[in-house]
Amino acid sequence: MSTTSNLSASGRFELQPAPPASDEVRAARMQNPGFGRFFTDNMIVIPYKEGEGWGRGALKPYGLIPIDPAGSVLHYGQAIFEGFKAYHQPDGSIKTFRPEANAHRFNASAKRLAMPELPVELFIEAAELLITQDRVWVPKAVGESLYMRPFMIGTEAALGVRPSKEYLFILIASPAGAYFPQGVKPVTVWISEDYVRAAPGGTGSAKCAGNYAGSLVAQQQAKDKGCDQVVWIDAIHRKYVEEMGGMNIFFVYEENGKTIVVTPILTGTLLPGITRLSLLEIAKELGFGAEERKISIEDWEKDLREGRMTEAFACGTAAVITPIGTVKSVHGAWVIKDGQTGPVSAKLRETLLNIQHGLVLDTRGWLHKVI
Ligand SMILES: *Cc1c(COP(=O)(O)O)cnc(C)c1O
């Protein structure tokens, strides 16, 4: 099966696919896939060596990867990742949503962690190969998708503190169920004052593994306070809202009869979300105002109390839009929209999902046809 003569059309990948899982096994896993619990039959691996650059990649059976105990990622954490989705379309095709944007952000993250950049075409080709090979794993229902998880790790066996000279780019894929199978349910959030996610000059705008490691204890604290998620505030003034967990955040204002969606401006400590960027555009098309600016915790409480702010939600690839129903902090708590999903959040969510699933015209060329 696995001979070097089986190359992709570009010649950049060896094709050594696994025998597919049986229909029964796959059907059982796709019945209720949840998020990130099951993986498709195959994965993509591309090696990098300093001086040689990116080598020939391979599409091969999903499975363990060998890593030396001295491998640099295990000690100094050179690890970055991305997340985007492939959607079944009404015409039977499969399309990914803005994958080039993920490829560019992947390279921005790579730069920040002194890792090599991966050519955008290679990132896209890897995704196309894996999705095409494992297309039976792309769920068909609206709200469901195949979640693509590309990542890169430093693998050189050397304990000296410097950038690794060897890396692996790996792409795995996981069927994702509807994030809210029982209907969208607003979350309760805890404003973290004991911990910060990112500081100026740090890695906040890079999608690196370490940002997540550092956030887990704050997420745990939020749970202990009876909340679902943590809200991050800025490291310097300790008052401006930055993000919610691993998602960007939006506020809806009603001012003089006009609806305006507002999201914190990118300061270098926030992760530049592709959902965030997409929603800013969609909001304008729906006739809403769309602004990026600083919002303090004080503004949040006051604007809500005075009736100018009517909704708040978080957004990201995994959950699309998650309304925020209750906000808690050491200073007190407040409820937004009686803890219900607001109409603007619902409209934005529906519009973005309709674009991703091909139910409305993709006027901006956001969908990338795979097969
Ligand atoms: C990935 C991520 C987001 C959301 O980005 P999308 O491109 O919309 O999925 C937001 N915040 C953090 C910290 C993230 O890691």
Please report which confidence band the pLDDT of residue 229 belongs to, taking 50, 70 and 90 as the band edges.
very high
The count of residues in the chain is 371
What is the best residue among 113, 317, 355 to mutate for testing ligand 1's pocket, by most ligand atoms within 8 Å of CB?
317
Q: Where are the beta strands (DSSP E) in 308-366?
A: 309-316, 320-329, 332-335
Question: Six-digit token pair at 155?
Answer: 């693998």
Q: Where are the domains of the chain?
A: 13-176, 187-356
Ligand 1 close to Cβ of residue 316 (< 6 A): yes
CA dist., res. 345 & res. 253, Å (int): 11
For residue 338, give the DSSP letter. G
344 beta partners: none
Ligand 1 close to Cβ of residue 263 (< 6 A): no
Residue for token pair 């979300």: 273
CA dist., res. 35 & res. 64, Å (int): 20
For residue 86, give the DSSP letter. E
User: What predicted TM-score, i.e. pTM, was given to this entire model?
Assistant: 0.96
Amino acid at 143: G
CA dist., res. 287 & res. 323, Å (int): 20
Ligand 1 close to Cβ of residue 271 (< 6 A): yes
3-class state of residue 199 by DSSP: coil
Structural contact between residues 368 and 303, judged by C-beta atoms closer than 8 angstroms: no
> In 10 A of CB 365, how many CB atoms?
7
For 102-143, the pLDDT digits (tens) are 999 999 999 999 999 999 999 999 999 999 999 999 999 989
For 72-94, the pLDDT digits (tens) are 999 999 999 999 999 999 999 99
Residue located nearest, by CA, to atom 12 of ligand 1:
246
For 327-369, the pLDDT digits (tens) are 999 989 999 999 999 999 999 999 999 999 999 999 999 999 9
Question: Which atom of ligand 1 is nearest the CA belonging to 83?
Answer: 9
Is 3.40.50.1820 the CATH number for 187-356? no
For 268-312, the pLDDT digits (tens) are 999 999 999 999 999 999 999 999 999 999 999 999 999 999 999
Q: Is the pLDDT of residue 4 over 70?
A: no
Fold held by 13-176: D-amino Acid Aminotransferase; Chain A, domain 1 (3.30.470)
For residue 219, report the distance from its CA to the centre of ligand 1, in Å: 16
Structural contact between residues 46 and 122, judged by C-beta atoms closer than 8 angstroms: yes
Q: Is the pLDDT of residue 2 over 80?
A: no
